[in-house]
Chains A and B, each alone.
Chain A
């Protein structure tokens, strides 16, 4: 067993899964305030992941796992011995991250139907825009949900073909192809810097952005 996923990447993954579930549950049960805080937590996690995707371990870096169409074709043809996200899986990761970023962005500028709750950036746009953003936020969840279902279906499909993907996302380790290059781990202090950066940006958003308000 060799390392494939570093601890920050795994923590991000499960935290995101848990927070999306909580966001859905809280809004369905009229806990709009918790829903907003959950969205801010997702924002923080996303910023961390984007930063870690630039300076983190090799398998966490976008430049490492996002490949062109030829790599996808080679992978589909069975000629892929890499470490981490497959070229096709990478597209799914990018789609998921983008969809969740859009969802968080819409939520930040939304307000509820009754004028009781507002996203931290809702005052940067008009009341009508906030209402529209909420409507799209509700619809966009279906896009996020579709990608999550696709993600889980792909894992199930790999499982049927004998590849277990869930356990490595917990333990961080997997059996690699003999020719696969090992993961280059990131620096712990780099992870800490990414975390500080993520909290700082999220704090700025919570304050109402620009110079703390519109």
Chain B
């Protein structure tokens, strides 16, 4: 019965989302990478928060975390293709992401810009500036999460 799976593949190719159907993108792999990436960003952010609250922050720790967030923020452009929503698998990504593509792209862009600015600031020695930039970066995380992330329990 080879015909059945082949028919399914043929049908899948007719779906509007060509990129996924053609097999270029594996939704499960993307969702996994997204989850791991977001978790890593979260961990880096927690480490940063603790470091920046300390009386004498360790700049090496801050710089490493800032670099990591900046690098992942660039990768995030590929984390939200069509067909990786909650209908496909367990995810905190709301369907609203693909219903408001322009707004979502703008928020993602803000995050990437602030991650870059924070990374640049962290290469300096001005702790006050680093703290301010970290606050601005956090706002871009929150702006997106408030609207496009559902509560996840794991």
| A interface with B by C-beta (< 8 Å) | 30, 111, 113-116, 118, 123, 127, 130-131, 138, 213
Contacts and interface: CB of A to CB of B under 8 A. Distances in A.
Given A114-B138, A115-B48, A116-B141, A123 B42 contact: no
19 contacts: A30-B145, A111-B46, A111-B49, A114-B45, A114-B141, A115-B44, A115-B45, A115-B46, A115-B49, A115-B138, A116-B49, A116-B141, A118-B50, A123-B54, A127-B43, A127-B46, A127-B47, A127-B50, A213-B55
B126 interface: no
Interface of B: 42-50, 53-55, 138, 141-142, 145-146, 153
Contact of B43 (A115, A116, A213): A115
A205 to B, nearest CB: 15
Nearest to B49: A115
A113 B42 contact: yes
A24 to B, nearest CB: 14
A116 B45 contact: yes
Contacts of A118: 49-50, 53
**Residue of A113, A115, A127 with most partner-chain B CB within 10 A:** A115
A46 to B, nearest CB: 25
Given A114-B45, A115-B138, A118-B53, 9 more contacts: A30-B146, A114-B141, A115-B45, A115-B46, A115-B47, A116-B141, A123-B50, A127-B50, A213-B55
A211 to B, nearest CB: 11
Nearest to B146: A30
A93 B122 CA distance: 51
A213 B52 CA distance: 13
Nearest to A139: B153
Contacts of B55: 213
A173 B105 CA distance: 61
A30 B142 contact: yes
